[in-house]
Structure 1
């Protein structure tokens, strides 16, 4: 099988069009069609559905597409290593991280990889957990941090850490009395909330917790952009329920926040590291996975930010924490 044919085929599926793929490769469309016809002849089955709107892969084509993407990435990395003048670990590693996870672990991970493995090109993709999970299932990521243990049967998973969910309001807010460091779900039911949209896993978890207690939330805005959501909360439009990563995301803004625990429910979210099985995981990706787990371990041990614990750690009823925190 000609490697060029696989590259052409992957590009066609990515483009959804023979004409777009031909322009990407600077090859005439009839010649491109001929190469795909030869590939289909070798496979013995049609790989593309051709319509006036473009092309989509058949079931067999989709299976080939996923494996071809992996094979081509492996080949490109092997060639890069072979051409290198040193024996250091090299290659591109694509990691999918939700926004709050990026805030907590993104910069430490990038710094560690740059310092320890300068030959690795780290590609960090930030997005909603549903989108990150989709990319992982499609084989477009080497690693991903998700809030569910279930993803796909051919993806390995390890527990990473657990994070507490807080009611977060700005320090100047009057929504909760100044002397309170915790709130009950019934109290929060009366507070205007700014939450992600209903398709977001965190929103579904929040809704379930309140409904199990016969309560509903007073949602005044639905925002899937973390930065806009936190701006709206700081503008005192409403409170939100998020892990401490939402405050860490503030970076250098220097805004002060109160984060209050829930007194009547253990409100935590687990983080899992998903990665390709060992036989498909590149050396570079394995190194990044190891560093990501180390960053998570340090985050739970340093206690610099509250709410992070190893999965399986004892659930403490009371955790000492300041009532106000300024983003750093």
Structure 2
């Protein structure tokens, strides 16, 4: 077995067919099939299931695929470090971010790295927290932001920031009177809600808050796509409960939203930064981790967007009652470094 065979195998799995992989690798298909046969012969087990619809990895093939991707990433990073000039920080860094976190600090992170470390190739992977956690545990990410501090063993976990969860609805919605800026859990339970599916950590957090009070929820749709969920809310199908990043996600569209705080609950979600131990972290990954933390601190300190705090900070007591609503700032008003 050699590195070339592993690269070919990974490309075949990701392409889903030998013909497509051969075109991507610029290798004749018979030669590629021969290399695959040699690899399967050395492993002693079939690695791919072949059908008229294409190919898919067997159980053994999937295990090899994940380990091969990890090995190839480590090799590429090692070569990048060896080739770099003294004092230069370069290489590829893969960062896993949930969708609302991408909206909150993703652009700031990309700009920071591009401005200060142009030799670092930043690879941002957006996904649900469960998927991000799985990729990190498989060694396919250098850094990840997750919502619990026990998602991966033997890794460095640091508190990053705390997000307040708001009831969100478009400015034109009549589900909640326009003079309200807060809402109770009981009031929210009577609204049609659009929430992530039950496997999503945010959904579990919301469900526990309602269940602790013995309140039902009127869930009219379950959607794990942030863009589709927010489109559905804006279309009047229901309201949702999300951190401020969901509205920041709408920045390019200029759509107007309201965000109502919960007056009778400390409805919060914590973000944790996961990284490899110091001995296994590349210099480029360490730099990106520092810039991620700096982007989070800037977001909290700017106060341009509501609902972001340091995890160690004690949030001020929230006043209840009805007050004149202060609408969410228009997304285009946020400074580019914080959007």
Distance in 2 separating the partners of 1:265 and 1:207: 13
SS at match of 2:300: helix
2:36 counterpart of 1:32: yes
Q: Deviations over 1:23-50 (max 9, x none)?
A: 7653342343224534x4xxxxx56556
SS at match of 1:199: coil
2:94 counterpart of 1:94: yes
Contact 1:193–1:217 (Cα < 8 Å) also in 2: yes
SS at match of 1:258: strand
Contact 1:193–1:219 (Cα < 8 Å) also in 2: yes
Selected match of 1:324 from 327, 333, 337: 327
Which has the larger displacement, 230-239 or 73-82? 73-82
Q: Deviations over 1:188-220 (max 9, x none)?
A: 111111212222221121111101101011122
Distance in 1 separating the partners of 2:219 and 2:48: 45
**Aligned position for 1:43:** none
Distance in 1 separating the partners of 2:278 and 2:19: 37
Contact 1:47–1:57 (Cα < 8 Å) also in 2: no
SS at match of 2:219: strand
Distance in 1 separating the partners of 2:50 and 2:69: 26
**Aligned position for 1:134:** 134
Q: Deviations over 1:237-269 (max 9, x none)?
A: 221111111111111322222211111111000
Q: Deviations over 1:280-307 (max 9, x none)?
A: 2221111111110111111112211111
2:251 counterpart of 1:251: yes
Contact 1:22–1:29 (Cα < 8 Å) also in 2: no
Change (3 A) 1:6 1:168: same
* CA RMSD of superposed structures (Å): 2.8
Structure 1: tracts of 5 or more residues without a match = 41-45
Contact 1:77–1:90 (Cα < 8 Å) also in 2: no
Change (3 A) 1:112 1:167: same
SS at match of 1:118: coil
For 1:1-328, what aligned pairs fall within 5 Å after superposition? 2-8=2-8, 10-11=10-11, 26=27, 27-38=31-42, 40=43, 46=44, 55-58=57-60, 62=63, 66-83=66-83, 87-318=87-318, 323-325=326-328, 326-328=330-332
Measured after TM superposition, the shift of residue 311 of structure 1 is 1.0
Distance in 2 separating the partners of 1:157 and 1:37: 41
Measured after TM superposition, the shift of residue 324 of structure 1 is 0.2
Structure 2: tracts of 5 or more residues without a match = 333-339
Distance in 2 separating the partners of 1:35 and 1:193: 51
Contact 1:103–1:249 (Cα < 8 Å) also in 2: yes
SS at match of 1:221: strand
Contact 2:9–2:36 (Cα < 8 Å) also in 1: no
